[in-house]
């Protein structure tokens, strides 16, 4: 089986690299850079997948996109029961939930926060105060409440579970790394406010496969 990871720097495609490192599967890594001015993805990605967005993993020439679909597609083919709990168990229910929750519910407020911060940075100086005021209003009225609800939920879950799918590390943890790692940066979460979230992050960063993924693909964030 031929595996190719199309990896965009500073993006969620680092999770695909990490997944394959955990499985110790051989793969080819093709790296793409962002536009330094717009931060947009390299247009060359569109030659691999019509949307031109990472991650993209090719398996014997078939391109898989979307992080959750990639996780499931790879594990279906080469997982051999690894990195996910036994189907029909409570741990499997948690695994499947967090595999989809990461992108479906947790990432949107983080992305909105990022978009508004980029809008403030890119605004001409004479309208920047107006844009900054709008961004502050959106953050106060919407984003802050979303952060409190979602990361309060994550913190409570990790207070009762070592990993997102229970006592064993799984692909759900790989899927959750991007939004959780972004939380201290975008939501201002500290070890004092969210000790279990930070405990989980420290465990993740100590995994050899995670370290190899970051060495090969670069950091998650600029």
Which residue among 64, 83, 102 closes a domain? 83
Q: What is the distance between the alpha carbons of residues 167 and 153, in angstroms, rounded to a whole number?
A: 18
* Strand pairing class (62-65; 56-59): antiparallel
> So what's the pLDDT on residue 204?
98
Q: What is the distance between the alpha carbons of residues 107 and 67, in angstroms, rounded to a whole number?
A: 12
The structural domain count of the chain equals 2
* Same domain for 193 and 148: yes
The whole-model pTM stands at 0.91
CA atoms within 13 A on the CB side of 66: 9
Residues 171/83, Cβ–Cβ less than 8 Å: yes
Range of the domain at 65: 3-83
* Same domain for 97 and 206: yes
Which residue among 29, 55, 83 closes a domain? 83
Task: Give pLDDT tens digits along the chain (222 positions).
Answer: 899 999 999 999 999 999 999 999 999 999 999 988 888 889 999 999 888 889 999 999 899 999 999 999 999 999 999 999 999 999 999 999 999 999 999 999 999 888 877 777 777 877 788 777 777 778 777 889 999 999 999 999 999 999 999 999 999 999 999 999 999 988 999 999 999 999 999 999 999 999 999 999 999 987
Residues 117/135, Cβ–Cβ less than 8 Å: yes
Q: Is the dihedral of CA 133, 119, 117, 201 positive or negative?
A: positive
* Strand pairing class (56-59; 3-8): antiparallel
Query: What DSSP letter does each residue of 61-130 carry, written as one string?
Result: TEEEESHHHHHHHHIIIIITTTTSPPTTSHHHHHHHHHHHHIIIIIHHHHHHHHHHHHHHHHS-TTTHHH
> So what's the pLDDT on residue 2?
94
User: Does any domain span residue 147?
Assistant: yes
User: For residue 12, which of 34, 44, 38, 43 has the smallest C-alpha distance?
Assistant: 34
User: Does any domain span residue 193?
Assistant: yes
* Same domain for 99 and 65: no
* Same domain for 193 and 177: yes
Residues 45/8, Cβ–Cβ less than 8 Å: yes
Kind plus residue range of the DSSP H or E element containing 32: strand 28-32
Residues 175/68, Cβ–Cβ less than 8 Å: yes
The C-alpha angle 217, 117, 149, rounded to 5 degrees, equals 85
User: Does any domain span residue 222?
Assistant: no
> So what's the pLDDT on residue 120?
74
Which residue among 83, 110, 140 closes a domain? 83
The beta-carbon contacts of 60-63 under 8 Å, at least 24 apart in sequence, are 60/1, 60/2, 61/2
User: Does any domain span residue 218?
Assistant: no
CATH number of the domain to which 47 belongs: 3.40.30.10
> So what's the pLDDT on residue 119?
75
User: Does any domain span residue 206?
Assistant: yes
Residues 7/27, Cβ–Cβ less than 8 Å: no
* Same domain for 29 and 49: yes
């Amino acid at each position: 089986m031929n595996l190719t990871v199309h990896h965009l720097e500073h993006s969620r495609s680092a999770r695909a690299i990490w997944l394959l490192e955990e499985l110790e599967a051989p793969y080819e890594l093709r790296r793409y850079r962002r536009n330094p001015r717009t931060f947009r993805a390299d247009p060359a990605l569109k030659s691999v997948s019509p949307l031109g967005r990472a991650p993209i993993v090719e398996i014997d020439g078939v391109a898989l996109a979307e992080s959750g679909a990639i996780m499931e597609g790879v594990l279906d083919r080469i997982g051999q029961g690894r990195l996910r709990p036994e189907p029909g168990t409570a741990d499997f229910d948690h695994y499947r939930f967090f595999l989809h929750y990461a992108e479906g519910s947790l990432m949107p407020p983080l992305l909105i926060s990022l978009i508004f911060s980029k809008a403030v940075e890119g605004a001409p100086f004479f309208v920047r105060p107006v844009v900054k005021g709008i961004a502050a209003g959106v953050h106060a009225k919407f984003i802050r409440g979303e952060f409190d609800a979602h990361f309060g939920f994550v913190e409570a879950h990790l207070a009762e579970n070592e990993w997102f799918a229970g006592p064993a590390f799984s692909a759900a943890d790989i899927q959750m790394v991007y939004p959780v790692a972004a939380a201290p940066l975008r939501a201002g979460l500290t070890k004092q406010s969210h000790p279990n979230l930070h405990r989980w992050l420290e465990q993740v960063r100590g995994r050899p496969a995670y370290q190899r993924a970051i060495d090969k693909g670069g950091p998650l964030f600029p």
